[in-house]
Amino acid sequence: MAVNPALIKATVKVAISVATDEEMRKKILIIFLIPIIAVLLILSMFYYILSQPFAVLTDILGGSSDTPYIEKFRSDKGYILQGKGNDVDPYPYLFEK
């Protein structure tokens, strides 16, 4: 399939005029960057929602007044529960023997 030489000539002429006009270069750069940035922002929003669903829900619902106390408890105690033996299972929680 052959390309019309007049079309190539017109395309090259337009490309040269765009390349020499600084204002047109800025407009074309903005036209290309806006959709790319918008897609990246939308993807990052979905990634945040999928990776931190409870944080998103608490932000949407207004948070909790107990949050500082919970964070302090977590920092003091950590997430590890100490295992205590009982009659049924001597190691109810996972920890090193």
pLDDT at 97: 46
Q: If phi over 0 gives left and psi between -120 and 50 gives alpha, with beta otherwise, what is residue 80?
A: beta
**How much is the average pLDDT of 21-48?**
91
Quickly state the pLDDT bin for 33 (edges 50, 70, 90). very high
* CB neighbour list of residue 25: distance below 8 Å, 6 or more residues apart: 18, 19
Of residues 77 and 96, the one with the higher pLDDT is 77
pLDDT at 35: 96
Q: Which of 75, 76, 97 is nearest to 85 (CA)?
A: 97
The answer to whether residue 1 scores a pLDDT higher than 50 is: yes
pLDDT at 39: 97
Q: What pLDDT, in 10s, does the model give residues 35-89?
A: 999 999 999 989 888 887 777 777 777 766 667 777 787 777 665 555 555 555 5
